Structure 1
Amino acid sequence: MKCRFLLLFSILLLMAAPLSAAEMRGMWIYKTDEIAASPEASDALFDFCAQRHITDLFWQVHFTKLENGGRELKNAAPTRAFIQHAHARSLRIHALFGDPSHTLRAKHGIVLASVDGILAFNREEPRDAHFDGVHLDIEPHGLLQWKKADPAQKCDLLTQFVEVNHKAVSRAHTAEPGLIYGVDIVFWLDKTTPEGKPAYPVNYQGVAKDAAQHLLDCVDHVAIMSYRDTAEGKNGIVSLVAKTIAYADTTKAKVFVGAKMANIGPKMEGFYGKTETQMMSALRAVDDTYTSHPGYAGLAFFMFEAFKIMTP
């Protein structure tokens, strides 16, 4: 009983005292069912995170659709055990879900039902088995209609994207004020015209600005998919995230800066084919530039399945 009390106390202390930017790192994980079902795989993940100072896992979850239209978390028992073990290793676990179709207003109910599913899981499980956060990965630019849309239509899709996140964060924070709410975004949401105006303005609640700023006004953090194979230079990660972090500095929100090592997309979008040492040497420029910024959360790695097989 004493050991369990000490474990619970340490977890509550971790949640009550967020780490500073220099101490935070995130990572996306997708083969979650396999890891949660295997104590050996879980321990290997925890060791991997400890060696690289990773503190926050964006942990993909899946849901069962209920007859009433609600969503129930799948694999609750192994997920409970995994989260408890993760907390014992000082990791925060964020429930990761979303689909480009969830951008559309007709699908917003699915997102809210999924948030409710996470809230229900947290209510039913012991405190040390709670998800620390919800992390949405919707990506409106992945919609088929985005590829055919004119600028006005893209602005409309981004407006719906902002709306669903405002609805979801309100639902999450109202029901569980301490639950962390995060969202993945692409780096070009705050692109501007030569005149300095938003390239994709979103008019939400009577205010017109870019989607990234609207999100930073309400969420706890964003994770920027700032995928490049270099950190410095005109098209490097440091410059791509500058405006987002500068705006985050004026809010309570934080920005995780994403780096990709998965073999997905053009070669210039990530560090696939390079060693971990080469990648981390390049990414040092991101930390050096932004650690002093209150809006900087830290680096985030896409994704564990690719990271773990990188050459040292």
Structure 2
Amino acid sequence: MRKLLVCTLAIMLSLAAFTPAIYASEVRISVDGRDVQFPDEHPYVDRRSNLTMVPLAFVSDKLGAATKWDGNSKQITISLNRDTIILVIGDNHALVNGKRVDFEGAAALKNGRTMVPVRFISEVLHANVEWQPARNLVSIMTSVANVPKGTWIWDSHIIKQDQAKMISFAKMKGVTSIYLQVDRDIDPAIYEGFIRKAKSEGIQVEALEGRPEWVYESKQEDIRNFIAWVKTYNSSVGPEGSFTGLHFDIEPYALSEWTKHNKAILESWMDNMRLIEKETKGSGLKISMDVPYWLNTIHVPGKNYSMSAWMLEKFDCLVIMNYRNHALGNNGIVENAQVMLREASTLKKKIVVAVETVKSTEGPRVSFYSISNKVMEKELQSAHNQLAHYASYAGFAIHDFKSWQDMK
């Protein structure tokens, strides 16, 4: 019995020798309400500084920042939009946008992996960080400033002017996608120059087209011609000058027939959607559709199945025209977006939530027109905080570029 006890004690002591003071598995990280899995090196709490450390890959994968490692100088560069952080392994300070900032602890190497202090990095990137001791959880809510954003340019002639100024504004606002209406009378070289400049700043450009009449069978040739033009253009300019996708804005509910002959209009719309699906199959183009936030209440004719789910099955992304200027409460941005976000999450597709800045005649709670940009960003942050946990959530779109640019 005594021999067994000695053996058991020896085993326990040998295990203890390999057990860190704080288990890596005890520290959990969530970003925007979703738990983060660490398949390789796990987060841990540094015993000297009491800081939670995470792999550098976490910063790029989950916070959306670009990271660069210089093995010779042991220097880490982290950049996101207008913010740049430079750290050196072992130093308890960093350069943040060129200015020295001191902090407790330091970046470190652990098992061949670069580890960085999660709170310091997250807060410099404007995220809100909360430590929940009862759950051993570091909860990070990202800033809406760093959320992907799209915007519409309806008058493509403006790209003939000061392209650098337009792209500078887009980058400053965190725009990642521009929906640019195609005017085939414009020299393709103008498009190519604009797209190349946009892509060099991390902004994708989608070819935008559509009108309510595109639900009719008689307009199928117009749809084919648009798709064919983009394919031909892309093949002539190479990847850096190419449109990354097709963006359709059809809106058949603007037609008088929508209320008079709703079933016929829906069936015709579906036929033309099938045409788009067929004509773009295998093209490598992302296909996005602008839809009203209430599309989930419209059923496929003869089926107990929403039109929004039917469209999500066929295309990559729906942009919900969720035109409200308040995030929370009845008929707000959050409430109106949730059903389609749930549908898209189930179908593993994406939803972009769009808001309006153009003057509206539909009431005082529709557009951010005449409201400050600061107020809009506050409402979008509130909406982001509530919607970011959906796997389908892909950020916001602001309608439209010109009106947004004019906001104070």
Q: Structure 1 length normalisation: TM-score?
A: 0.80
Q: Pairwise mapping of residues 203-222 of structure 1 onto structure 2 (< 5 A)?
A: 203=301, 208-222=304-318
Shift, 1:207, TM fit: 5.7
Structure-1 separation of matches of 2:305 and 2:154? 33
1:156-198: CA deviations, max 9, x gaps? Answer: 3123223322321331132x1x21100100111112xxxxxxx
Q: Flag the structure with higher helix content.
A: 1
Aligned to 2:121: none
Q: Flag the structure with higher strand content.
A: 2
Residue 54 of structure 1 aligns with an amino acid whose one-letter code is V
Shift, 1:264, TM fit: 3.0
1:160 counterpart = 2:258 = no
Aligned to 2:288: 182
Q: Give every structure 1 segment of 4 or more consecutive aligned residues whose post-TM-superposition deviation is greater than 6 Å.
A: 19-22
Higher relative CO (CA 8 A, sep ≥ 6), structure 1 or 2?
Answer: 1
Q: Secondary structure at the match of 1:283?
A: helix
Q: Pairwise mapping of residues 1-312 of structure 1 onto structure 2 (< 5 A)?
A: 23-35=147-159, 37-38=160-161, 41-63=162-184, 74-146=186-258, 148-149=259-260, 153-174=261-282, 176=283, 178-191=284-297, 200-203=298-301, 208-266=304-362, 267-311=364-408
Structure 2 unmatched ranges of 5 or more: 1-60, 65-143
Whether the 8 Å CA contact 1:162–1:211 is kept in 2: the answer is no
Structure-2 separation of matches of 1:32 and 1:169? 25
Work out the percentage of aligned pairs sharing the same amino acid.
Answer: 24
Whether the 8 Å CA contact 1:155–1:201 is kept in 2: the answer is no
Structure 1 unmatched ranges of 5 or more: 1-16, 65-73, 192-199
Residue 33 of structure 1 aligns with an amino acid whose one-letter code is H
Q: How many residues align?
A: 267
Structure-1 separation of matches of 2:263 and 2:348? 25
Residue 206 of structure 2 aligns with an amino acid whose one-letter code is H
Q: Secondary structure at the match of 1:123?
A: helix
Shift, 1:236, TM fit: 0.3
CA RMSD of aligned residues (A): 2.1
Based on CA coordinates, which of the two structures has the bigger radius of gyration?
2
Structure-1 separation of matches of 2:229 and 2:392? 30
Structure-1 separation of matches of 2:147 and 2:289? 20
Residue 266 of structure 2 aligns with an amino acid whose one-letter code is L
Structure-2 separation of matches of 1:254 and 1:142? 25
CA 1:207–1:112: 2 relative to 1, 3 Å: farther
